[in-house]
């Protein structure tokens, strides 16, 4: 298991859902966590309380990831509170539930808001994280994308397009920031929980059942499943960092 003791992570959108599950999973591994929220401080504080119960430190910070100044403040909270930044998980996101055929319902404001939060937000957070991660000796970024960005499905056309852009940007920044900063992504499908319950309303159970029938596992993912995937990526990257691409242990880990 990866040893995250003494490390610090910023998890955007961690007052609920995948972000909250990820913050708690990182805390279980000994990582100090910055919990970010945009709307509900009450929910963020509840997640922070859960993080602290696991024996690590936690800071709570508000902000809109569509705003660059907020991104710099959110990411900067890690160094301010804990003296370093090692991990950034870009989980904050938003959508509008609009049928893909309902083109006239997609306004300029919807396009702007979704792209600002889902694409520009992660970029701005990564840009803000670059220097503190470099000062810490390197770091890891995990972007929470979506299968919608691969298959062109999901809650709306702008949402699918934003996640496709996020996947493409993940690849671009992985090249640009390697090897000191590793940039990867997770692209979940249907995730059980409040977001889809609220978005699909009375259709939620029917869509859930229809989706589960198509899946080899017979069930959709939970936020905890996605948090496990994030941790799995970090474990694999940490192992590679220790051994190097040729499988031999690196001198830096002998010190």
pLDDT at 205: 74
Q: For residue 66, what are its two tokens?
A: 């569509």
Mean pLDDT of 138-157: 96
pLDDT tier, 199 (very low <50, low <70, confident <90, very high otherwise): low
| Backbone dihedral angles phi then psi of residue 62, each to the nearest 5 degrees | -100, 155
Q: Distance between the two ends of the chain, CA-based, in angstroms? A: 20
pTM summary value: 0.89
| Backbone dihedral angles phi then psi of residue 80, each to the nearest 5 degrees | -65, -45
Q: Is the pLDDT of residue 193 over 50?
A: yes
pLDDT at 218: 72
Q: Is the pLDDT of residue 10 over 50?
A: yes
Q: Which residue has the tokens 């972000």?
A: 19
- Reported as a single tens digit per residue, the pLDDT across 219-254 is 767 889 899 999 999 976 555 555 554 455 443 333
Least confident of 27-36, 140-149, 183-192, 205-214: 205-214
pLDDT tier, 216 (very low <50, low <70, confident <90, very high otherwise): confident
Mean pLDDT of 159-176: 98
pLDDT at 198: 72
Mean pLDDT of 175-179: 97
Within 8 A by CB and 6+ apart from 141, the residues are 87, 88, 89, 90, 126, 129, 173, 177, 181, 182, 183, 184
What span, in angstroms and rounded, lies between the C-alpha atoms of 38 and 49? Answer: 18
Instruction: Indicate the CATH number for domain 8-189+226-254.
Output: 3.40.50.720
Within 8 A by CB and 6+ apart from 213, the residues are none
What ranges do the domains of the chain cover?
A: 8-189+226-254, 191-221
- Reported as a single tens digit per residue, the pLDDT across 68-109 is 999 999 999 999 999 999 999 999 999 999 999 999 999 999
pLDDT tier, 217 (very low <50, low <70, confident <90, very high otherwise): confident
Please, what is the average pLDDT of the chain? 89
Q: Which residues are catalytic?
A: 159
In the chain, the percentage of residues whose pLDDT exceeds 90 is 75
- Reported as a single tens digit per residue, the pLDDT across 44-64 is 999 999 999 999 999 999 999
Q: In 10 A of CB 152, how many CB atoms?
A: 13
Per residue, what are the HEC states of the chain?
CCCCCCCEEEEECCCCHHHHHHHHHHHHCCCEEEEEECCCHHHHHHHHHHHHHCCCCEEEEECCCCCHHHHHHHHHHHHHHHCCCCEEEECCCCCCCCCCCCHHHCCHHHHHHHHHHHHHHHHHHHHHHHHHHHHCCCEEEEEECCCHHHHCCCCCHHHHHHHHHHHHHHHHHHHHHCCCEEEEEECCCCECCHHHHHHHHHHHHHHHHHHHHHCCCCCCECHHHHHHHHHHHHHHHHHHHHHCCCCCCCHHHHC
């Amino acid at each position: 298991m990866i040893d995250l003791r003494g490390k610090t992570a910023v998890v955007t959108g961690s007052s609920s859902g995948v972000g909250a599950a990820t913050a708690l999973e990182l805390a279980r591994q000994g990582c100090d966590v910055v919990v970010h929220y945009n709307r509900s401080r009450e929910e963020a504080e509840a997640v922070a309380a859960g993080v602290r119960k696991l024996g690590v430190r936690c800071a709570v910070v508000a902000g809109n990831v569509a705003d660059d100044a907020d991104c710099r403040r959110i990411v900067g909270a890690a160094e301010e509170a804990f003296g370093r930044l090692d991990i950034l998980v870009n989980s904050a996101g938003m959508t509008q539930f609009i049928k893909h055929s309902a083109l006239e319902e997609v306004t300029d404001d919807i396009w702007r808001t979704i792209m600002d939060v889902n694409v520009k937000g992660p970029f701005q957070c990564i840009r803000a994280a670059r220097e503190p991660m470099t000062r810490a000796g390197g770091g890891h970024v995990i972007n929470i994308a979506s299968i919608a960005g691969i298959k062109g499905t999901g809650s709306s056309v702008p949402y699918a397009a934003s996640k496709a852009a996020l996947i493409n940007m993940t690849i671009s920044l992985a090249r640009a920031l390697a090897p000191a900063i590793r940039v990867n992504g997770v692209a979940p499908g249907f995730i059980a929980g409040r977001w889809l319950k609220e978005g699909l309303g009375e259709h939620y159970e029917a869509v859930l059942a229809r989706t589960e029938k198509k899946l080899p596992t017979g069930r959709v993912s939970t936020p905890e499943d996605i948090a496990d995937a994030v941790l799995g990526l970090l474990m694999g990257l940490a192992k590679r960092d220790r051994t190097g691409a040729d499988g031999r242990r690196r001198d830096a880990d002998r010190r």
